[in-house]
Amino acid sequence: MLPVDIDKLLNELLYQPKAPIIFSSAIFLYLFVGFFAIYLLILKKQKLRILFLTIFSVYFYYKSSGWYFLLLLLLTFSDFNLARWMGKTDQKSVRIFLLISSLTLNLGLLAYFKYTNFIFASFYELINKPFDPFAIFLPVGISFFTFQSLSYTIDVYRRNILPLKNITEYAFYLTFFPQMVAGPIVRAADFIPQIFKTPFLNKQDFGKAIFLISSGLFKKAVISDYISLNFVDRIFDAPALYTGFENLMGVYGYALQIYCDFSGYSDMAIGIALLLGYKLNINFDSPYQSASITEFWRRWHISLSTWLRDYLYISLGGNRKGKIRTYINLLITMLLGGLWHGAALRFIVWGALHGVMLAIEKLMKSIITIPQNKITKIVGIVLTFHFVCFSWIFFRAADMQTVGAVLTQIFTAFHPEIIGEYIVGYPLVSLLMLTGFVMHFTSRNTEQKVENLVIRSPFILKLVYLSLIIFLVIQIKSSEIQPFIYFQF
């Protein structure tokens, strides 16, 4: 019989369904320290480094989704070979067949895991019969790594890139653990060339990595998790029990929560990748500072919005087939973007709202010219932010009835006289929401100054910054792990 502490250690190394590994968990910190120490020793040995990092990445996914890591290996094997065969033939019909095979496999798996219950539930609702959902587990990050794999096979088909010759190299690209389960969606053309270079981490990159990891951890584990558990979830679980003002604060809170959660993950992913010597593109650029929905989608979840643009919108014809077709293409793209986020009517409505607004903005731009000055920019930012917040209600609510309840309370039972009571009742929530929005609306120059301050700091001081954030997380975190919102998409 093994000692109890070793039993516990071995158990921690296995997949825990109720506690999947995330960047803000203690188990990840312990694993990463051990992994990073070995990684530094083999940094200059290319084949060994690629193999070791790939194995750790697959293990990381196992700790996130259990035996579904085999699904990831299946896609790795299939798309690597389909792309390789594509590269060996000039026959267009064969290349199309291979591309369709990749599309069928990736989208078929995505459809099965995400949309089977939605399709059957919709059908049973039409025939007015009850439906007992199938017990289908949604593998973490499947929406991300299927899109990433598809971008590779599509780019090979378009001859934008050459197919890789070694499956380990492709596995490295597809399973790279910092961004595998929740993005950013990495393009092969951007990432694959980095695989063959010896990673190099200079003082500036190390400082930037610490800044990104620290700020990401603060946004996710301090702001997002706290306001979610202690306020936002309560509002959306029972909106009728709260005044319209509290519901509005709940909507603002969710806008901040989802931004801090997702951009926090992206910051940590980019920072961890930078520590390993790999550079990932920015995924968020202060999206709530946008003065239009068009600008918002240039700043929000950039890797997904550019993926939808390059592989869906442009493939549908983009803006090359007349104005009406352009508007239709925008709507289709955003409808499918909404459906990508979840199999429910509310996600489709969310996508439709953004698609319609994008089309309206494009139409208005062709009709009138709005003067560009500070006043119009501020008005644009305020209107855009509130449209995005309105759309978030559909995204967050459990169902359309909850959407109706939230809007009913806001427009019929606002009660602004409880503002003081709200602040007294939720002091830390109010403080964190204020802090989060101030951070978000801080100018780029100010943010750059803070980043440069961290970069120029001595090594020990950098570790102090990170340690203080970790200490703060430990002080206010809940007893249960709070997975990243986008893990479920």
Query: Which are the catalytic amino acids?
Result: 341
What is the Cα gyration radius of the chain?
A: 23
Q: Are 279 and 273 in contact (CB under 8 A)?
A: yes
Q: What is the DSSP string of 47-85?
A: HHHHHHHHHHHHHHHHHHHGGGHHHHHHHHHHHHHHHHH
**452 φ, ψ (degrees, to nearest 5):** -65, -35
Which tokens go with 309? 């643009």
Q: Which long-range contacts (CB under 8 A, 24 or more apart) does 43-47 make?
A: 43/198, 43/199, 43/277, 44/198, 46/196, 46/198, 47/168
Neighbours of 205 (CB within 10 A): 17
Alpha-carbon distance of 98 to 93, in angstroms, equals 9
Q: Are 332 and 263 in contact (CB under 8 A)?
A: no
Distance, C-alpha 88 to centroid of its chain = 35
Alpha-carbon distance of 381 to 364, in angstroms, equals 17
Q: Is 294 helix (H, G, I), strand (E, B) or coil?
A: helix
Neighbours of 112 (CB within 10 A): 12
Residues listed for the chain: 489
**26 φ, ψ (degrees, to nearest 5):** -65, -40
Which tokens go with 220? 């996710």
**18 φ, ψ (degrees, to nearest 5):** -90, -5
Compute the Cα dihedral for 423, 260, 29, 471 and give only its sign. Answer: negative
Neighbours of 185 (CB within 10 A): 24
Alpha-carbon distance of 388 to 466, in angstroms, equals 32
Q: Are 311 and 235 in contact (CB under 8 A)?
A: no
Q: Is 322 left (phi over 0), alpha (psi -120 to 50) or beta?
A: left
Distance, C-alpha 98 to centroid of its chain = 29
CB-based contacts of 173, cutoff 8 Å, min separation 6: 152, 164, 186, 188, 191, 192, 195
